[in-house]
Each structure stands twice: as structure tokens, then as C-alpha cells.
Chains A and B, each alone.
Chain A
Amino acid sequence: MPIHTAGVHALDSALVTRAAGGDERALGELYDRFGGMAFSLACAIVGDHADAEEVVADAFAQIWRSAAGFDPGRGSVTAWIATIVRTRALDLVRARKRRARVLADAAVVTDEGETLVIPSTLESPDRGAELTETRALLQRSLAELPAPQRRVIELAYFGGLSQSEIAEQLSEPLGTVKTRMRSAMEKLRHALRPLMEAGA
């Protein structure tokens, strides 16, 4: 039973297409659907709600301007939006030289400081439920990784660090970091395959 159906992806893609045509309501729907994910991701990276708000506003401005550049053949709307948000969040972090703080907070999966709430503004309850399930699967998949592997993924994805920066951060040999990263991504690919097959 796929959590994400191809139908949902088609709906998401259709929203982006409408936004590219200048339909403001479509952008609003994209925000209703992905704003929670975007804000959560931005918080995880920048570590501050006010900064995260800047990042998300900026990201959706880019989404609006560049919706025509989205190619459903190259990935899901989720991944597209996440990439934009992450890129902007990492830019902000780098600009603020807050890397040290982010590193300390990088273990986001075990962070208990935030309330687990999904916005109830999703237009379709079914689609909202699917996103919730997807999140649960993601968090579970990451949590099931051996801790050293998970740490490497977190430092790369949420901390924006390169492999050698991670090696330095963890005082581990570069080769060890590379191996952990590959193994972790392999496991994640396996665990997340249902989502990706639906999106293809």
C-alpha cells in the first residue's frame, strides 16, 4: 500500500503548473500543502523561528517566480520545494556564521523541543493524512539508522557540511565518513522506495 500515490503527485504537479500560469490560488494551495514542511525544515536548519519565516517567505517567492522551471519528470514537488527551502536556509546560516550552533542542534530527529503538529489548513484531509504518514515514515527511517550513520546524514543535510567538514567535525577519518554516508543513503533509499516509485 503506497503511502504516496501517483495521483497525489499529479495533483501537486498540477498546482505548480497553475502557479506557473499566474494562478495565485494555486500558490496558496501549495503553501497550505507544503508550508508546514517548509517551515519545519527551515527551523531545523536555521534554528530560529524568525529566521525560518524569512527563509520560507523567500522560498515561496522563488517558487512563484520559477514555477515554470519545475519538471515533474525529475522529481516530486516535495523534493523541489524542499531543495529551494534548504538552499535558502543554508545560505542564511552561512551568511550568519551560525554554523557552530546548527551543528550542536543537528540531531533534529531526537529534538524534543518542538511540538509535533501538522497544520490543519490542508485543503484535502486525505492528502494531509498522506503527508503525515510520509513524515512518520521519514522520521522512522532516519531513526532506524545506526547513530553514527544518522549523524553523518544530519550534518550533511541539515548542517550543509561537506564530507571533509563532517570528518573534521566528528574527528573521524574521511573514509569512514564516506562509507557511513553511502551506507545510510542506501538504507534510506530502500526504506523510502515506496515513496519514490509512486513519484516516478
Chain B
Amino acid sequence: MSEHVWLEQAAPYALGALDEADRAAFDAHLSTCDRCAREVSELRQVAGLLALASPAVVQPPGLRDRIMADARAVRPMASHVSAPSQSEARSTSARSAPGPGGRVRFVVPWLAAAAAVVFAAVLGQRLGGERNARLAAERTLAGVRASLDSTGSALATRDSLIATLVAPDVQAVSVTGTGPSPSARYFLDRRRGRIVLAASSLPPAAPGRTYQVWGIETGKPPVSLGTFDTDASGRAIASLRIPAGLTIAVTAVTDEPSGGSPQPTTTPFLAATW
């Protein structure tokens, strides 16, 4: 047998077990060596089949419905859109949620979306962890789509809303008061400069009043992010733009005169620390 020292790397490569430097070197070699490429291709099949060696566990009964509800909300990518590589060998922390340019085609009317996000917040809280919270938001948003119809006002906001909820690097924080008092969940997308606030159990502001959201950078005065009001059921969802250059450390809500105030005039609540 002729010696081809690179071939020794094929098995660990197929298992995703090469150390970083070795993997980079072997990646480079693979692009020029058919022999190693064939070897990797075959060993990857072996590695793929290892999945079947795990002890069989019956999946939860509701999982299928959940997956199908998700699917009804999102169209598959068209074939010309680059898809995650089938031969992906190493894990990556990047999420492949549909980005702003993705194929999310559903419409989320305002109130239904609010309900969905609040529900997602509860779910996210239960699961713990930002990633799961975001997954819950994405899934829940998707899940309600089937029962929704189009409304003009929702169309204007849905893109940024959805983008913020499903973006790969979104941070999520839930804020709950004591008892049945207001609760909220914030989804902060620093990269795109958006924040989504989903509030519940918050009575509509009094006549002539509104709720105002503030972003606070450490050591600086609060900056208004916008105003919102809740509906009769005490819910609201607000998708707000973050002014350029503002590095938010804290977000909070105050009760202000209609139109909002330059600076908070009442005690902040629903405060979240980032």
C-alpha cells in the first residue's frame, strides 16, 4: 500500500474530532486531493450511521404537531438559496434561522403576535437560557400563523419584528413583577439596532397617558426608544429602533403623558438589565 499520510486524518475529520489547526490544514488538503475526499465521504457515512447506535427513545407525543405547526409558518428555501452544508462536520454555534432576507412569508397581526410572544416568553422562561427563549419565540410565532389573517398595520412591522425575534444573536430577558402585575419580555438585537418588547398584564394607560420605553447606557441619562399602549387584555408588543451609538445596559418602561417625555417623569418599571 502506498503511504499517504493525510489519509490518517480522514477518520477523525469525519467524526469532527480533529483539533482546530489540524482541521484547517486538512480542509485545505481536501480541496486538492480526490483520494482523501473519497475517504472522507465514505467515513462520513460511517459517522452518520453512528446516530443509529443510540438507545431508542420514544419521542414525546406532541412533538410531531409542534414540528408541523412550525413548518406551516415557514416555506422551505428555494433551491438557489445556499443551505447548510450537508457535510458539515463540526458543530457551529451559529443559528440558521431565516434572516431578514429569508423566506418567512407569514403575516403576524399585532395582537396575535403579542399573545404569541408573551406565551413564548413564558415558555422561554420555563426552559431557561437565552437560546431556548429565542427558539421558543420563533417557534411560537410560527405556530400561530395558521390562524391569522392579514392586516395592513401588521405588515408594516412584521419584518423587523420577525427579524428581531429570530435573528441569530438576539438576547432575551424576561421581567416579571410580583403577583399578577405586569410582565414583559425584551428581545434585543444589538446588531440590527432593534428591540422588541412584549408586555402582558399591563392595564391600558389612562386617558392622555402612554407607556414609554427607555434605553439607558451606563453613566448616561435615559434615551427614549418609543411609546406604546396595551389593549383591553393588557397586552402589547412594540418593535422599536435603537438610536445609533446607544449601548443599552438597562431598559425600562415609565408612564408618561401622551406623546412621551424627553426624560422619565415617573418611576420606571419592567426594568431589565443587559
Task: List the interface of chain A (C-beta within 8 A of B).
Answer: 19-22, 24, 27-28, 31-32, 35-41, 43-44, 49-50, 52-54, 56-58, 60-62, 64-71, 74-76, 78-80, 82-87, 90-92, 94-96, 108-109, 111, 113-119, 131, 134-135, 138-139, 141-142, 153, 156-158, 160-164, 166, 178, 181-182, 185-186, 188-189, 192, 195-196, 199
Contacts of B47 in A (CB 8 A): 79, 157, 185
- Give 1 or 0 for each of B68-108: 1 = CB within 8 Å of chain A CB: 10111011111101111111110111001010000100000
Contacts of B96 in A (CB 8 A): 62, 65-66
Instruction: Select from chain A the residue with minimum beta-carbon distance to B72.
Output: A24
Query: Are the CB atoms of B56 and A114 closer together than 8 Å?
Result: yes
Instruction: Select from chain B the residue with minimum beta-carbon distance to A58.
Output: B135
Contacts of A158 in B (CB 8 A): 54
- How many angstroms between the C-alpha atoms of A62 and B100 in the bound complex? 16
- How many angstroms between the C-alpha atoms of A117 and B84 in the bound complex? 31
Interface residues on B, range: 35 or more
- How many angstroms between the C-alpha atoms of A164 and B18 in the bound complex? 8
Query: Are the CB atoms of B53 and A185 closer together than 8 Å?
Result: no
Contacts of A166 in B (CB 8 A): 17
- Given the known A-B contacts A20-B79, A196-B45, are A27 and B86 also in contact in the complex, defined by CB atoms under 8 Å? no
Query: Are the CB atoms of B57 and A39 closer together than 8 Å?
Result: yes
Query: Are the CB atoms of A49 and B56 closer together than 8 Å?
Result: no
Task: List the interface of chain B (C-beta within 8 A of A).
Answer: 8, 11-12, 14-20, 41-60, 63-64, 66-68, 70-72, 74-79, 81-89, 91-93, 96, 98, 103, 127, 129, 131-132, 135, 139, 142
- Given the known A-B contacts A64-B76, A91-B93, are A84 and B84 also in contact in the complex, defined by CB atoms under 8 Å? yes
Query: Are the CB atoms of B17 and A163 closer together than 8 Å?
Result: yes
Query: Are the CB atoms of A161 and B17 closer together than 8 Å?
Result: yes
Query: Are the CB atoms of B43 and A54 closer together than 8 Å?
Result: no
- Given the known A-B contacts A139-B53, A196-B46, are A67 and B11 also in contact in the complex, defined by CB atoms under 8 Å? no
User: How near does chain A come to B104, taking the closest CB pair, in angstroms?
Assistant: 10
Query: Are the CB atoms of B54 and A40 closer together than 8 Å?
Result: yes
Sample (20) of A-B pairs whose CB atoms are under 8 Å apart: A27-B71, A41-B51, A60-B67, A65-B103, A66-B83, A78-B48, A78-B49, A80-B86, A82-B52, A90-B91, A91-B91, A94-B93, A95-B93, A96-B129, A108-B54, A113-B55, A115-B57, A131-B52, A162-B18, A188-B49
Partner of B86, one of A31, A44, A69: A69
Query: Are the CB atoms of A181 and B17 closer together than 8 Å?
Result: yes
Beyond known contacts A38-B59, A108-B53, A135-B53: 9 more, CB 8 A cutoff = A24-B72, A39-B59, A44-B54, A57-B66, A61-B74, A78-B51, A95-B129, A195-B49, A196-B42
- Given the known A-B contacts A36-B58, A56-B59, A116-B56, are A87 and B92 also in contact in the complex, defined by CB atoms under 8 Å? yes
Contacts of B92 in A (CB 8 A): 87, 91
Instruction: Select from chain A the residue with minimum beta-carbon distance to B85.
Output: A69
Partner of A153, one of B50, B78, B83: B50
Contacts of A65 in B (CB 8 A): 74, 76-77, 83, 96, 98, 103
- Given the known A-B contacts A61-B71, A69-B84, are A49 and B60 also in contact in the complex, defined by CB atoms under 8 Å? yes
Contacts of A153 in B (CB 8 A): 15, 50
Partner of A66, one of B67, B84, B87, B89: B84
Instruction: Select from chain A the residue with minimum beta-carbon distance to B78.
Output: A68
- Given the known A-B contacts A50-B127, A68-B83, are A119 and B59 also in contact in the complex, defined by CB atoms under 8 Å? yes
- How many angstroms between the C-alpha atoms of A62 and B48 in the bound complex? 17
Query: Are the CB atoms of B45 and A75 closer together than 8 Å?
Result: yes
- How many angstroms between the C-alpha atoms of A27 and B92 in the bound complex? 24
Query: Are the CB atoms of B59 and A79 closer together than 8 Å?
Result: no
Contacts of B50 in A (CB 8 A): 82, 138, 142, 153, 157, 188
- How many angstroms between the C-alpha atoms of A196 and B44 in the bound complex? 10
Query: Are the CB atoms of B12 and A181 closer together than 8 Å?
Result: yes
